[in-house]
Structure 1
Amino acid sequence: MASSRAVPNLRFKQLRGQRSPGEFAALVRRAAREIGEQVACDARYVGRVEAGEIRCPNYAYERVFRHMFPSLTLADLGFSAREAVRGRAGRGRTPRPPEPYRTTDSTDTNGTTGTTDSTFNTFNTYSDEESDVLRRAFMTGGTVTLASASLGFGPLPGAEALRSDLPRQRVGASEASAVEAAVRQIRLLDDRHGADGLYRRAAQPLRAAFALLDAGATTRGSTADRLAAGAGELAISVGWLAHDSGRLQDARSHYAEALATARLAGDAALEAHAFCNTSFLARDAGRHREAVRAAQAGQRAAGPLGSDRLLSLLSLREAGAWAGLGDRAGCERALSRAHTHFGRGPSDRDPEWMSFFGEPELQALEAQCWSALGDWARAARHAQRAAALQDPHFARNLALYRAQLAADLARSAAPAEAASVGEQVLDALEGDLESTRIRAMLADTARVLGPRRNTAGVAAFLDRHTAAARARV
């Protein structure tokens, strides 16, 4: 298990001083923002560092800690050398630095057409902080081990991993860590590459996670809670990949699975997340009254959790549903609540998966509301703010916001501007970003701009869009 060889990091604990783990985590997140990093540090992460489970931070955390303590080395902070933790250098191979660890949401944090294997390279490299725990998790035998190994996104075992007649071993903290790491990997890759190339690849880890949950049915305490929460969050992440790639029925099934897991575990945070995504899906499927009810149910679940940012997002989901029903008054009331909650700022109680939710996403979701109500000019103003404020690192969300902006500009009598923004979206889609949602939005913009071909810049965009669509056939 993860704790069997862990040596407590007393130096790091000394640096925390009299602050609580949650207070110290807030300082870490604030320091990250100061240098343009985004880390999902919470009290659990601080506790794992101090318990010695995280022997060396990943590169993003390392930059943050060096910013906080510029005169100290990693050794001074109580961490081990990176080579010793990763283990590859000791076997005569040069380790490849992983991408900076970031999380993003399923919402706005999971076919493989036209995607090369290199897209999935990151699946095979966990962040440094997880690697040691995962290696130990994968070294034991039986169904539990096979399921755990499939969470590494390397060569995925098939049905053999889930056979009920194989011996079941004890499920503990290592397996829970594996599930949590899989959730983070999916969210990271969705943000970098979009959903289309990831959905089928992520289905096996999801089955493995629920196999672990089943195998650990007799597990009790915090490990059982982590395993249930991790499996539920993984179901939501995979559901989002289905959702964003146009597989709405698959997404509905995954979200329902997450909701059932939340109810069985009594996990209000997971329940709120499941309702949040269910509302978004129902709106996209045209079931607007269901979207309203799901958003309101999510707010009831989230009420005791103390996260204003979560309540803000759920209020925005409700606002979008009212807009889909054409109820401007209901939409404006929900938007007002969303802004009130958002204005109270972030807190230590905000869920890790909400690291994507900042001012850009707030503006983008409000743009969707005004767009649904037919107020195109107002929608375009909010979409423009979203695109301008978004960190370029979040490639998928930036392309999404620009696609929304192009659609709103096309309908608000600004065809040249719409074509220019549409070209930027095409640039992203010609890279390694794959998103059926974004392509569908861009196709709709092209349709609206069709009659305006003679406007400057429009013909070039339309021709390029047509060529790109043909190349995908």
Structure 2
Amino acid sequence: MDTFGEALRRARRRAGLSLDTLEARVNFSKSYISKVENGRRPGSREFAEHCDTALDASGDLVAAYEQDAVQRGPAAAGTVAFHDVYRRTFLNLGAAAAAAGVAGLAGIDLQDGAELTEADLDQLNRSVVRLRALDARHGAADLWDVAAARARGIASLLDHAEYSDQVGAALVELAGRAFMCAGWLATDAGQHDGAHASYTEALAIAGQAGSPEIQVHALSNLALHAGVQRRPRPALRYVAAAERALPAQPLGRVPAMLAMRRGRLLAMLGDVDGAKQAFTAARHTLDGDQAAPVSWLGFFGHAEIDAVEADAALDLRKPKRGAILLEESLAAYDPRFARNRCLHLVRLAKARTSAGQVDAGAHATSEALDLLDSDVASVRVGTELRLLAEQLHQHRKLPAVADVLARYRTTPYGAPA
């Protein structure tokens, strides 16, 4: 991963900004910015937040700064866990606005009686985008309740804030997206009641907003959530409902994603032919999709289809096929989505071990632990890692397995198998 200075320079140049222009936007001197970019000063968390906002970095600069802080050691990072720092950062966003009630909960500083503006909406949207970016990098174990509070705060503004009709319409859509974010983070954190409640709230808001995209998004994530809970039949009903709700205006990558989700669920039911047809349809649909992808499917592509088909292969007791698909997926997977990569590595280890490739399974486990050391905090990953450790325990006399199990026990998820 780039240092904070390197990431800052790259983001500034990508935005086409000079040092003088960035100086004016973040209220830090050009000399200070230059020294941070060149590695002569570490910068501060406040500076990282200002730059992230000014450069539309979606949390990447905050993540790079915090990673540097951890690597500099206790003097820089203190004794607070990396993901706790993120959680504290988001809890403190809008702390100065606490007196403004729901506006503070939503994450903005809105004075009593002030009208909500498009600039306020932009700030609220940045908060949601950053939560999703941090979830992609690190998982949601310590962020899900922050996301839920943000969503509730944004929804409360609908009842308690003053705003124009145009801002009100945009606020309804933003509330829907915020509840989708909260539901996704709650799913990753294993908070299934909270996840279902957030998705259901998003579905209700979609009706108020007249937004087919939010409706389809909510239904597809309800399908995902039911699948995570191993409830394939209701999940398939949600997929069918999402397909019926697709608007005439194409939603890029969504039809392919729904076909992929159908394949996974059919595999859970043991339908080999149906699953195969669905995954084939997902690939063909993706190849023929010329529409711009929706913002919430930035991670989706052939690598994701490979990974999900691999999960289906494991359900169908075809571990060798699953291992091959996961290897192909990981070779092409975007490194920014560290939590997903970690999850797929755990499943690759399971597939290899089930196929009798135990040393290779131990190696994949070690790679997953490397990502955990980089502060992935995901209950889903932790749950699957515990099951993998139980599987590897049967082979504990092998040196590679003994080593990786010993390392696993040093993680927050670890316990003697």
* TM-score normalised by L of structure 2: 0.79
Change (3 A) 1:103 1:273: farther
Question: Which residue of 2 is the match for residue 205 of structure 1?
Answer: 150
- 1:86 shift after superposition: 2.1
CA distance in 1, matches of 2:386, 2:249: 40
Q: Which moved more, 1:308-317 or 1:181-190?
A: 308-317
Q: Which structure 2 segments of 5+ residues have no match?
A: 3-7, 33-42, 61-79
CA distance in 2, matches of 1:80, 1:146: 32
**Residues 185-214 of structure 1 deviation map (CA, whole Å, 9 limit, x = unaligned):** 101111222111212233322221111222
2:138 to 193, 216, 219: 193
Question: Which residue of 2 is the match for residue 234 of structure 1?
Answer: 178
1:64 to 3, 6, 14: 14
Contact 2:91–2:146 (8 Å) recurs in 1: no
CA distance in 1, matches of 2:99, 2:339: 38
Q: How many residues align?
A: 374
Question: Residues 121-160 of structure 1 correspond to what in structure 2 (within 5 A)?
Answer: 123=90, 142-143=100-101, 145-148=103-106, 150-151=107-108
- 3-state secondary structure, aligned to 2:397: coil
- Aligned: 1:269 with 2:269: no
- 1:359 shift after superposition: 2.7
CA distance in 2, matches of 1:241, 1:472: 25
Question: Which residue of 1 is the match for residue 346 of structure 2?
Answer: 403
Change (3 A) 1:168 1:259: farther
CA distance in 2, matches of 1:407, 1:124: 37
CA distance in 1, matches of 2:415, 2:388: 18
- 3-state secondary structure, aligned to 2:151: helix
What is the identity percentage for the equivalent residue pairs of Structure 1 and Structure 2? 26
- 1:60 shift after superposition: 5.9
Change (3 A) 1:459 1:273: same
**Corresponding letter in the other structure for 1:468:** T
Question: Which residue of 2 is the match for residue 388 of structure 1?
Answer: 331
Change (3 A) 1:254 1:145: closer
CA distance in 2, matches of 1:346, 1:83: 40
Contact 1:360–1:386 (8 Å) recurs in 2: yes
Alpha-carbon RMSD across the aligned residues, in angstroms, is 3.5
CA distance in 2, matches of 1:188, 1:463: 31
**Corresponding letter in the other structure for 2:27:** G
CA distance in 2, matches of 1:174, 1:88: 22
**Residues 353-390 of structure 1 deviation map (CA, whole Å, 9 limit, x = unaligned):** 21111232222112112222222111111111111112
Question: Which residue of 1 is the match for residue 23 of structure 2?
Answer: 83
Contact 1:119–1:193 (8 Å) recurs in 2: no
Q: Which moved more, 1:408-417 or 1:196-205?
A: 196-205
- Aligned: 1:418 with 2:361: yes
- 3-state secondary structure, aligned to 2:335: coil
**Corresponding letter in the other structure for 1:185:** R
Question: Residues 244-263 of structure 1 correspond to what in structure 2 (within 5 A)?
Answer: 244-263=188-207
**Corresponding letter in the other structure for 1:87:** N
- 3-state secondary structure, aligned to 2:246: helix
Q: Which structure 1 segments of 5+ residues have no match?
A: 1-35, 37-57, 67-73, 105-112, 127-133, 153-160
Q: Which moved more, 1:249-258 or 1:446-455?
A: 446-455
**Residues 410-430 of structure 1 deviation map (CA, whole Å, 9 limit, x = unaligned):** 212111111111011112212
Question: Which residue of 2 is the match for residue 307 of structure 1?
Answer: 251
Query: Which structure exhibits the higher relative contact order, with contacts defined as CA atoms closer than 8 Å and separated by 6 or more residues?
Result: 1
- 3-state secondary structure, aligned to 2:248: helix
1:445 to 388, 409, 413: 388
CA distance in 2, matches of 1:121, 1:273: 29
Contact 1:406–1:418 (8 Å) recurs in 2: yes
Question: Residues 274-285 of structure 1 correspond to what in structure 2 (within 5 A)?
Answer: 274-285=218-229
1:119 to 51, 65, 86: 86
1:326 to 261, 270, 273: 270
Change (3 A) 1:123 1:142: closer
Change (3 A) 1:121 1:80: farther
1:215 to 135, 157, 160: 160
Contact 1:235–1:257 (8 Å) recurs in 2: yes
Change (3 A) 1:239 1:140: closer
Question: Which residue of 1 is the match for residue 231 of structure 2?
Answer: 287
**Residues 392-427 of structure 1 deviation map (CA, whole Å, 9 limit, x = unaligned):** 232212212211211211212111111111011112
**Residues 420-445 of structure 1 deviation map (CA, whole Å, 9 limit, x = unaligned):** 11011112212321111111111111
**Residues 149-190 of structure 1 deviation map (CA, whole Å, 9 limit, x = unaligned):** x258xxxxxxxx9xxxx9654333123212211211101111
Question: Which residue of 2 is the match for residue 101 of structure 1?
Answer: 57
- 3-state secondary structure, aligned to 2:115: coil
- 1:330 shift after superposition: 2.2
**Corresponding letter in the other structure for 1:426:** L
- 1:321 shift after superposition: 1.3
* TM-score normalised by L of structure 1: 0.70
**Corresponding letter in the other structure for 1:178:** Q
**Corresponding letter in the other structure for 2:116:** V
CA distance in 2, matches of 1:390, 1:463: 28
Contact 1:407–1:418 (8 Å) recurs in 2: yes
CA distance in 2, matches of 1:387, 1:151: 39
**Going by fraction, where is helix more abundant, 1 or 2?**
2
**Corresponding letter in the other structure for 2:24:** A
- 1:469 shift after superposition: 5.3
- 1:140 shift after superposition: 12
1:366 to 309, 332, 335: 309
CA distance in 1, matches of 2:375, 2:257: 29
